[in-house]
Amino acid sequence: MIWQVGIVQACLAPVYCIGKTLCLEALLMTQIEPIRWRNDALELLDQRLLPGQEVYLRLATCLEVAQAIGQMVVRGAPAIGITAAFGMALAAREAGGSLHWRDRLREAGNVLKAARPTAVNLSWAVQQQAELARQQPDAAQAYTELLRAAQALLAQDINDNRRMGQLGAALLPTEGGILTHCNTGSLATGGYGTALGVIRAGFERGYRWQVYVDETRPWLQGARLTAWELQQEGIPFQLNVDSAAGHLMATGKIQAVIVGADRIAANGDTANKIGTYSLAVLAHYHHIPFYVAAPLSTVDFALANGAGIVIEERDEQEVRRCGAQEIAPTAVAVRNPAFDVTPAALITAIITEQGVAHGPFAENLAKLRP
Amino acid sequence: MIWQVGIVQACLAPVYCIGKTLCLEALLMTQIEPIRWRNDALELLDQRLLPGQEVYLRLATCLEVAQAIGQMVVRGAPAIGITAAFGMALAAREAGGSLHWRDRLREAGNVLKAARPTAVNLSWAVQQQAELARQQPDAAQAYTELLRAAQALLAQDINDNRRMGQLGAALLPTEGGILTHCNTGSLATGGYGTALGVIRAGFERGYRWQVYVDETRPWLQGARLTAWELQQEGIPFQLNVDSAAGHLMATGKIQAVIVGADRIAANGDTANKIGTYSLAVLAHYHHIPFYVAAPLSTVDFALANGAGIVIEERDEQEVRRCGAQEIAPTAVAVRNPAFDVTPAALITAIITEQGVAHGPFAENLAKLRP
């Protein structure tokens, strides 16, 4: 991997309309590019180093892509899917000249899928690319087509997120406290974001929201990434430890919870970052609506319910440490499930780019399929 | 303050009886002394440095004691109370020779009480010592009596905790997963612990428990202190991030939750470490019993309910950092409530050294008063 310091592009945001007063103060917004194709290689903004450093990793092989996914250089279900699509294109390029290029591409797909087990977008993207490759006469043509498809997927994801943002913002209250967990913004997607895209869209509409950001241990995606994104965009928020969510709800600070998803079963059961389920139970207890925002590709229609979702258990060191800081005695035993499953019954609505589904989800999610 | 590296004393634990088999393997247990009086000064095991370093701070003035409480050299409601009692004794010594020693002692009490606002044990201990001082003819006599009283309080606290441990262990299931939050062990008390004392007593009885320890952000009392104490004593446990509690309950890992308390209102509403309320709601949702263990001095009978409890908001840096590690962008806004209030209705029983109270707590806590 070649390390390269990247420059994040800045552009002027559209004029905001806050309340009834047209506000002409244009905010300096930053267009965050977590995934980009440059000079025949994939470049990923290394999310392990944020917010301290903004560094792009340059990946020229499929194996490097799989490693980057496994090591969480990139994370967030949609972003992982897009990254894997580029990984398949790189695999096709590497297989060029080999008589067995189709076998090698299949192996590459398996390596990519094994990098993270929970997000369905990963296997979905690999599958899509594998099918596209089957239709190609040779590896060179496969490389061209798979690269084009990956780039289209990236562009499509941003468009889908903007659509999801509009649908979600229309659903949420126009003022009050909005709690979110993990990072579901530009960094978790091709750009704009899913749950954070809805928050972004609300602010674009001038909603009077106070955003509350769970820090999201152990990886601190909230403290490191969501806080960084919101700060870049000038959206006001407050950071809190995950366990403060109940207190914030009980004291009337939260009017809605919105999260992303790593895998949604056909019945609406949703696997997402550890802590999502606790939030859903707390929201239910406090009669606060609980929303999931995710592209329809996150719905695994082959999976009847959440019982079949494999929950990734990650390295114990992630809990024993906080960044470089040792926080627990050496060698203590750790439980480190990366995800949990929120039953559909606790979810108010699932927001996708194809529309919003309310319960019964088995029926209403299926209706959204194009 | 003079820094001094302390040696933690080791002794042999009593023979354990596990299940029906008498087990002769005596465990090497460590007697942790968080608070001790040595050579005319108070020594506190600096809990900010654990588990990395075991260092005693030597405090010779009341102001140093107040600062140590405010900076969380010592924490945990009972331990803070005992420390403050020694602080009052030191104040009496400092006031020796002054005609206005009673005024100075009153001022010292106010300084101590202001160091942490939530724990009732602090103001309770200051009040007890102030009353004792009023009965003394001069400052020298007050010093002698207040020091004796502080030492008696320390000894009494350990005895009370052992009693609480027995009462609590009799109440809990004899096997299964026990989840605890924050640190309520020797380090939070004079020794042995409240909620962790109950866990300790269960293991002394040979219960087949799997202890789950919430890491307890932002101060990580679970990861740093509870994990350290349990490791010292050879009690098996697993550490988890706070937000994993819901997932652990939903997957059947937890059969009881037990926590300590910083202040209990007359009706049973309980202020405790941030995250306690979330756990209580989660336990309620999963039909898991939720226990509070605290000395009766933690009950503020003058306070009708939890609405009157002042919740300390601590420094934003505690959330922006994890130890020395910066984890969030500089200057992000933070909510850092140190405690939350769990309504009595979510509490199965309150375990005190005077007996166990079930609801209605207003009636049944009052009955425990000696």
Q: What is the tens place of the pLDDT at every residue in A126-165? A: 999 999 999 999 999 999 999 999 999 999 999 999 999 9
Q: Kindly identify which residue of chain A lies nearest to residue B311, measuring between CA atoms.
A: A247
Tell me the shortest Cα–Cα distance from A74 to chain B, in angstroms: 18
Query: B4-8, B180-184, B312-316: which has the highest mean pLDDT?
Result: B180-184
Mean pLDDT for A154-182 is 97
Asked whether the CA dihedral A280, A281, A283, A284 is positive or negative, the reply is: positive
H or E segment and range at residue A88 = helix A77-94
Confidence of residue A63 (pLDDT cuts 50, 70, 90): very high
- Out of A144, A162, A180, a domain closes at A162
Q: Please indicate, yes or no, whether residues B181 and B327 belong to a single structural domain of this protein.
A: yes
| Beta-carbon pairs below 8 A across chains A and B | 188
Of A50, A41, A113, A59, which is closest to residue A81 (Cα–Cα)? Answer: A113
Q: Please indicate, yes or no, whether residues A124 and A193 belong to a single structural domain of this protein.
A: no
B86-105 pLDDT, tens digit per residue, is 999 999 999 998 999 999 99
Q: Please indicate, yes or no, whether residues B89 and B186 belong to a single structural domain of this protein.
A: no
Mean pLDDT for B289-293 is 98
B139-167 pLDDT, tens digit per residue, is 999 999 999 999 999 999 999 999 999 99
For chain A, the maximum distance between any two Cα atoms, rounded to a whole number of angstroms, is 66
* Residue A349 structural domain: 165-367
Tell me the shortest Cα–Cα distance from A226 to chain B, in angstroms: 9
Q: Do B250 and A216 touch (CB under 8 A)?
A: no
Q: Please indicate, yes or no, whether residues B246 and B179 belong to a single structural domain of this protein.
A: yes
Hey, what long-range contacts does B80-83 have (CB within 8 A, 24 or more apart)?
B80/B116, B80/B119, B80/B121, B80/B122, B81/B119, B81/B121, B81/B122, B81/B124, B81/B125, B81/B153, B81/B297, B82/B35, B82/B125, B82/B150, B82/B153, B82/B154, B82/B157, B82/B189, B82/B190, B83/B35, B83/B42, B83/B44
Q: What local confidence, expressed as pLDDT, does residue B97 receive? A: 83
Distance of CA A172 to the CA centre of its chain: 20
Q: Do residues A183 and A229 make contact, with C-beta atoms less than 8 angstroms apart? A: yes
Closest residue to A340, CB basis, from B51, B237, B247: B247
Of A125, A209, A327, which is closest to residue B222 (Cα–Cα)? Answer: A327
**What gap in Å lies between CA B352 and CA B268, rounded to an integer?**
12
Q: Please indicate, yes or no, whether residues A101 and A183 belong to a single structural domain of this protein.
A: no
Structural domains in chain B (count)? 2
Confidence of residue A224 (pLDDT cuts 50, 70, 90): very high
Instruction: Name which of B243, B247, B254, B257 to mutate to probe chain A: the one with the most chain A Cβ atoms within 10 A of its Cβ.
Output: B243
Q: Please indicate, yes or no, whether residues B224 and B359 belong to a single structural domain of this protein.
A: yes
Catalytic residues of B: 262
Q: Please indicate, yes or no, whether residues B125 and B169 belong to a single structural domain of this protein.
A: no
- Out of A129, A162, A195, a domain closes at A162
Q: Kindly identify which residue of chain B lies nearest to residue A225, measuring between CA atoms.
A: B328
Eight-class DSSP state of B221: I
Q: Do A275 and B224 touch (CB under 8 A)?
A: no
CATH of the domain at A175: 3.40.50.10470
Instruction: Name which of A327, A330, A336, A340 to mutate to probe chain B: the one with the most chain B Cβ atoms within 10 A of its Cβ.
Output: A327
Eight-class DSSP state of B186: G
Q: Do B335 and A227 touch (CB under 8 A)?
A: no
Q: Please indicate, yes or no, whether residues B18 and B78 belong to a single structural domain of this protein.
A: yes
Alpha helices in chain B (DSSP H): 62-70, 77-94, 101-115, 120-134, 139-171, 195-204, 227-233, 245-250, 276-285, 317-320, 361-367
Q: Do B340 and A246 touch (CB under 8 A)?
A: yes
Q: Do residues B220 and A219 make contact, with C-beta atoms less than 8 angstroms apart? A: no
Q: Kindly identify which residue of chain A lies nearest to residue B230, measuring between CA atoms.
A: A332
Q: What local confidence, expressed as pLDDT, does residue A19 receive? A: 27
Q: Please indicate, yes or no, whether residues B40 and B98 belong to a single structural domain of this protein.
A: yes
Residue B75: phi and psi, rounded to 5, are -150, 175
H or E segment and range at residue A277 = helix A276-285
Asked whether the CA dihedral A234, A240, A245, A247 is positive or negative, the reply is: negative
Q: What local confidence, expressed as pLDDT, does residue B8 receive? A: 33
Percent of chain B, pLDDT > 90? Answer: 84
Q: Please indicate, yes or no, whether residues A286 and A157 belong to a single structural domain of this protein.
A: no
- Out of B133, B162, B191, a domain closes at B162
Q: What local confidence, expressed as pLDDT, does residue B249 receive? A: 98
Q: Kindly identify which residue of chain B lies nearest to residue A239, measuring between CA atoms.
A: B334
CATH of the domain at B99: 1.20.120.420
Structure-token match 């207890």, residue found: A285
Confidence of residue B206 (pLDDT cuts 50, 70, 90): very high
Alpha helices in A95-194 (DSSP H): 101-114, 120-134, 139-171
| CB-based burial label for B103 (10 Å; 0-12, 13-18, 19+) | exposed
Q: Please indicate, yes or no, whether residues B356 and B302 belong to a single structural domain of this protein.
A: yes
A10-31 pLDDT, tens digit per residue, is 222 222 222 222 222 223 344 7
Can you tell me the ipTM of this complex?
0.87
Q: Do B224 and A327 touch (CB under 8 A)?
A: yes
Q: What local confidence, expressed as pLDDT, does residue A25 receive? A: 29
Q: Please indicate, yes or no, whether residues A241 and A305 belong to a single structural domain of this protein.
A: yes
